Every structure is written in structure tokens, then in C-alpha cells.
Amino acid sequence: MSKLLLKGAEVVNPGNNEIKQQDILIEDEEIAKIASNIKVEDVKKMDLSNKLIVPGLIDMHVHLREPGFEHKETIATGTQAAAKGGFTSVACMPNTNPVLDKETLIEGLNQKIAEDAVVNVYPIGAITKGSQGKELAEIGSMSQAGIVAVSDDGNAVMNSEIMRLALKYAGDFDLPVISHCEDENLSGDGVVHEGYYSTVTGLDPIPASSEEVMVARDIALARETNNPVHIAHISTKGAVQLVRDAKKQGIPVTCEATPHHFSLTDQAITSFSTATKVHPPLRSKEDVQAIKEGLEDGTIDVIATDHAPHATEEKDVEYDYAPFGISGLETAIALINTELVETGVLSWPQAVEKLTTNPASILGLDEGKLKEGAVANLSVIDPDYKWEVKPKDFVSKGKNTPFADEELKGQNIMTVVNGEIVYNNK
Ligand SMILES: NC(=O)N[C@@H](CC(=O)O)C(=O)O
Ligand SMILES: [Zn+2]
Ligand SMILES: [Zn+2]
């Protein structure tokens, strides 16, 4: 039996908002014991004092790009980036080529995951065939193949009747619908948030209403069907308020925010760097403040990276022509620590809840808790570690980050998946 004893770490328990100094003993793939001062013989020991141990983090929104866009990312490189970032599980979006819209494609992906992934990967299936928004995809049979949600992420489901049917149909299989909220007519050819900085840069604007009308629509559909909708990458003040009000009425809606949307405002676009081009666009100072308030008061359930890697040559073009997306897995923990924990917006247990138990409950995963007898999925975070973001050091193929050369504090230093150390920088 292989045994590993993690000694003296600050163990973060999201459930009861506490941090407690404890040892954790891992035997094979299980957490055998959590207690203070565990004494055992014949064991590999690691001193982790002043480090945090958190339940394996779950990123419920990543783009792994396989099949079809292997030049941007693969299951191998994307999951290695996840492991480095402290994530032991990711849910991957179906906007690949072909779009993951049927059982055989999910089965093919599962095969690839079994061969190449270093962390747990849960596929998300498309809502509509080809994510074209016209006809429902084979949600029922994809559910047999193990998808954890459906989404046409990257595209809006513009037809409200299709979205209503999707909610009902997905509900029959207990699958949440993850909505990329964007009214494509309002977005038009826009590339940045509509406001002061779109005016001064002359870049084409995307109004906040493009997101908000769809959030309002999806809330109405969730109320009517009583099936859960999860709003991806929420980014505006108005959208946060809509979700807050909906939750008060008991409507089954949840939402997530990304690190880039709580860390950066649209001022960043004045660099004209295509690394700042993302869907939804980086928003105003007031919107960023509202995201932080939503995280703090629980309106925003989840922090997810929306890891959207693109090849350097694809981003190395004029702003209008670059693809939307930010490579996020390897900077998430540092941004959460720097922007939310150090500033008092969230405690570590509160942040960890949005990275473990909350996404697990939305996706129906039996994960996200450190407890004896559970599979050993955990990460070790050094909250004091200062480092500079160097995209060339990313293990993701996507070097597209707007945080290049920034000094951040906090980083994941070790990741354990199913009892095995898959990343170690201790
Ligand atoms: N977020 C992005 O800017 N891009 C995503 C699609 C998406 O999440 O909508 C991508 O697949 O590149
Ligand atoms: Zn999206
Ligand atoms: Zn996405």
C-alpha cells in the first residue's frame, strides 16, 4: 500500500467556514485519516506548515479544444495546466470540431480522456445540433454517455422556444443547462464593452444589455419550466442584480464569474492587446464592483476560469480579427488570492466553496469535500508565494493572458488526483 502523510497544513473546510491545522493521511487512493498529529510508520511525509490544503478544486468551465483544435490545446496539455493550477476536476465545453452533440462523440472523448487526462474531466454536451441553435441535440443519449450538463457555450441559443424545450428536455435527465448569455443582435460586430473606453479606442462596442436581456430571458424560462439554468461568465451589474432577485423568488438559477472579470476593467483594452479580447468583454469599474458584491453575498455561486486557449498566431492579429478568449487555468488561484482574499471580499473557505462544493452540487458530482474514506483529491496552496506571470512558462498551449508580467501572490504548489501526485512544485 502506498502511504503519504501531509503534515501541519492549514486545512480549509468550505462547509463550516473554518481553517484548522491538521494532518492528512492518504492510503492508496483514499483519504484514510484527517486529525491533528497523526503518527504512522513506513510513510512518506511532507511538511506543509503555513500551506493551505483544499479539497480538489473543480473548474466547471474550460475549453480543452479536442477534438479538432489541437493546435490551441489538447486534453493532455489542458489537464496538465489544470493540475498546475490546482484543479483536480474540470468540465469541458463542447464547442470543438465536431461539436460534441451526440453519444458517439462523447464516447470518443471519454476514450481520449482515459488515455491522456491527468485530472478528472467531465464532458458537457451541446444543447443544439452543431450548437447552431436550430434543433435540439441528442441530450438523452449523451446523458447515457456521462455528460454532466448541456451548453452551446461560445454561441447564444437565440431562439427562446428552443431554449425552453432544452430546459424541459435536459430537466428530464437531471442535467443543468449552462447558458452563454448573449443577444447576438445586440452584440453585432462588437469586440469590447460599450462605454468610455470603447469610445476612446474606437473599438466596436458590445452593450451590457446584450448579456442582461438573455439573463432575464433564461430566468423567465427557468421559472416557467422549473428546471435549473446556470449562467456562464456573468459580467454585468444588471445581470448580477437579475440573478439576485431571481434567487430571492426561489427560481432555480445559479451563476459563475471568472477571475478576469473580477480582476480587470475595460480600461485594460487601451493597450489594444488582443489578450484582453474575451466574451463577455471586460466590463466597467461599476460592473467589476458588482461582481465582487455578488461573490460576497452568495449571488454568484461559482468561480470558473472559462479557460479559452488560442494559438499565439491566432491572437497576433488586429484586435477586430483575433478570437475571443483568455487562458485562465494557471492564474486563477493567484487572482483569487490577490483580488478577493487579500482584499477581504471572500475568506479562503468561502472562495473554496465556489471552487468545490458549489460546482459539485450544480453538476451532481460526488466531489469537493475532504473527508475520511473519500477519494483523495486535494490541492496544496501557498498563499504567500509571490510570482510574476510569464506566459511562456504556462503548460497550457494557450499563452493568451492579459496578466503577463504582473506580480501576483499565491499559487498552487501540489495537486493530488485519486491519491496520486499529478503536480508537485513544493
Ligand atoms: N470566452 C471566450 O471568449 N471564448 C470561448 C467561448 C465562450 O466561452 O463563450 C472560446 O471557446 O474561445
Ligand atoms: Zn461563453
Ligand atoms: Zn466558455
Per-residue pLDDT reduced to its tens digit, 307-349: 999 999 999 999 999 999 999 999 999 999 999 999 999 999 9
pLDDT at residue 63 is higher than 90: yes
pTM of the model: 0.98
Q: Report helix, strand or coil for 220.
A: helix
Share of the chain above pLDDT 90, in %: 98
Indicate the burial class of 146 (C-beta count within 10 angstroms; 0-12, 13-18, 19 or more): middle
Ligand nearest to the CA of 281: 1
pLDDT band at residue 203 using 50, 70 and 90 as cut-offs: very high
Binding residues: 61, 63-65, 95, 153, 180, 233, 306, 310, 324-325
What is the band of 14 on the pLDDT scale with cuts at 50, 70, 90? Answer: confident
* Whole-angstrom distance, CA of residue 14 vs CA of residue 416: 18
Q: Tell which atom from ligand 1 comes closest to the C-alpha of 324.
A: 3
What's the pLDDT tens digit per position in 264-303?
A: 999 999 999 999 999 999 999 999 999 999 999 999 999 9
- Which atom of ligand 1 lies nearest, measured to the CA of 95? 11
For residue 71, what pLDDT is reported?
98
Other Cβ atoms closer than 10 A to 140:
14
Q: Strands 420-424 and 407-417: what pairing?
A: antiparallel
Q: Is the CB of 63 under 6 A from ligand 1?
A: yes
- pLDDT for 13: 87
Rounded to whole angstroms, the Cα distance separating 398 from 394 reads 8
Percent of the chain with pLDDT over 70: 100
Q: Which of 308, 397, 419, 359 lies closest to 59, judged by CA?
A: 359
- Spell out the domain ranges in the chain: 3-52+374-424, 55-363
The cell 437565440 sits on which residue?
A: 158
**How many helices (H) and strands (E) in the chain?**
14, 18
Mean pLDDT across 253-269 = 98
Pocket flag, ligand 1, residue 306 (CB < 6 Å): yes
Mean pLDDT value of segment 144-150: 98
Give yes or no for residue 1 having a pLDDT over 90: no
3-52+374-424 CATH fold: Urease, subunit C; domain 1 (2.30.40)
Residue 407 CA: distances (Å) to CA of 267, 389, 402, 425:
18, 7, 12, 19
Interface predicted TM-score (ipTM) over 0.85? yes
- The response to whether residue 281 sits with its C-beta less than 6 Å from ligand 1 reads no
Query: Which amino acid residue places its CA nearest to atom 2 of ligand 1?
Result: 325
Query: Is 324 close to ligand 1, i.e. is its CB under 6 Å away?
Result: yes
Annotated catalytic residue: which of 59, 183, 306, 382? Answer: 306
**Is 306 tagged catalytic?**
yes
So what's the pLDDT on residue 17?
A: 83
Task: Output the pLDDT for position 122.
Answer: 98
For 233-257, what is the mean pLDDT?
99
| Binding site membership of 325 for ligand 1 (Cβ less than 6 Å) | yes
Q: Closest ligand 1 atom to the C-alpha of 325?
A: 3
User: How many whole angstroms separate alpha carbon 267 and alpha carbon 44?
Assistant: 49
Model confidence band, residue 68 (pLDDT cutoffs 50, 70, 90): very high
**pLDDT beyond 80 at 15:** no
Whether the CB-CB separation of 256 and 304 falls below 8 Å is answered with yes
CA of 62, nearest ligand number: 3
Q: What is the pLDDT of residue 212?
A: 99
Q: What is the CATH number of domain 55-363?
A: 3.20.20.140
- Please state the rounded mean pLDDT for residues 148-152: 98
Residue 163 clears pLDDT 90, i.e. is over it? yes
pLDDT band at 236 (very low <50, low <70, confident <90, very high): very high
- Quote the CA–CA distance of 92 and 63 in Å, as a whole number: 5
Q: For all residues of the chain together, what is the average pLDDT?
A: 98
- Cβ < 5 A residues, ion ligand 2: 153, 180
